Chains A and B, each alone.
Chain A
Amino acid sequence: MTTLSAYRHPLSERLYSGGAGADAGKVLKLAYEAISNLGSSDSYTPTKHELFAMHLKSLRGEAPEPFGDDTLLAATAFWSVFPKHFAVPELSLDDDGEVMFDWSPSAGRMVTVALRYDGRMSYAARLGGGRTRHGTEYFNDAFPAWLGDLLSELGS
């Protein structure tokens, strides 16, 4: 979780409570809406819950794939810096225990990222018009610019 999302509500509430006069109220309302969009939203929170649910399922032996604590940490760290203006990915687990994030707005266009416990990110993309890319990068606690470029190009 980022500090921004951790303190979202208290900060927003403080902003919303201040101001005197109609113009001040409008400014504060705009500020509140801007911050609201940066924090976790209804469509993003379930993804975080899904990660924990997948981990729990694996711990209980209800899933064939292993999903270790280190992988959960890496995945939640990645999710906490994921920009909320991109589409929400769909999740699955690979046989080797890596978390797979899939974005595919339409047939022929998709980005898949497999995140390993140590932050290794294997990715593959089909961007339409026969353009494909694949490679390996490492997650280092900041949202990777290359992934932002791919998702922007995907139109996600």
Chain B
Amino acid sequence: MMRFLRGLATYFRNWAANKVRVPLRAEESVTRFVFRTEHLFKDGRAKPKAFMPETHPATGEFELSVCRLEGCPEQRTWHVGKTCRRDVALKARADFPADVAFQNQLHGFRAPEPDYAEHAILLGWPPADGDKSHRMSIAQALADAARVHAPPT
């Protein structure tokens, strides 16, 4: 119930903030925070699973949360990664050019959150009642383009 209410609150916050949605630029890079070791190959590269989108609880639309790297110093990026989810520990981050997402028919928007102004979302994924393999193919493209970094100790 709490999860649903939090999702709903985020949805309305985004709705208000995104009345004038600021799109991501093709030239910028973003990073996907990885919280599970199972989402990394044993050699350290990112698995497609790390880029599979999540269903938005209110809209039912798939979206992928990322962090914008433009103007975000290294230390700040790691801080955001370590604090944006309290329930799990950060395992890695996977940086990739936003343009790879655009080449795969996704579009990205800034979606600032409290204490997380760099937050952005990638939308335009094939819908849940559509072809899952298409979503997997896009996730593979993102995984393939990503450079994985381990958090500083």
**Interface positions of A (Cβ within 8 A of B):** 90-95, 100, 102, 104, 107-108, 110, 112, 114, 122-126, 132-136
Least CB distance from A73 to B in Å reads 20
Cross-chain contact B47 with A90 (CB below 8 angstroms): yes
Q: Which residue of A lies closest to B134 (CB)?
A: A134
The answer to whether B137 touches A124 (Cβ under 8 A) is yes
- Cα-based distance from A133 to B140 in the complex (angstroms): 11
Q: Are B54 and A95 in contact (CB under 8 A)?
A: yes
- Chain A nearest CB from B146 CB (Å) reads 10
Q: Besides the contacts A100-B48, A110-B48, A112-B48, what 20 more A-B pairs have beta carbons closer than 8 Å? A: A90-B47, A92-B47, A93-B38, A95-B52, A104-B45, A107-B45, A110-B143, A112-B49, A112-B139, A114-B132, A114-B133, A122-B131, A122-B136, A124-B134, A125-B140, A126-B141, A135-B133, A136-B131, A136-B132, A136-B133
Total cross-chain contacts (CB, 8 A): 71
A93 to B38, CA, bound (A): 8
In the complex, how many angstroms separate the beta carbon of A39 from the nearest chain B beta carbon? 24
Min CB–CB distance A34 → chain B (angstroms): 30
List chain B residues, Cβ under 8 A from A95: 52, 54-55
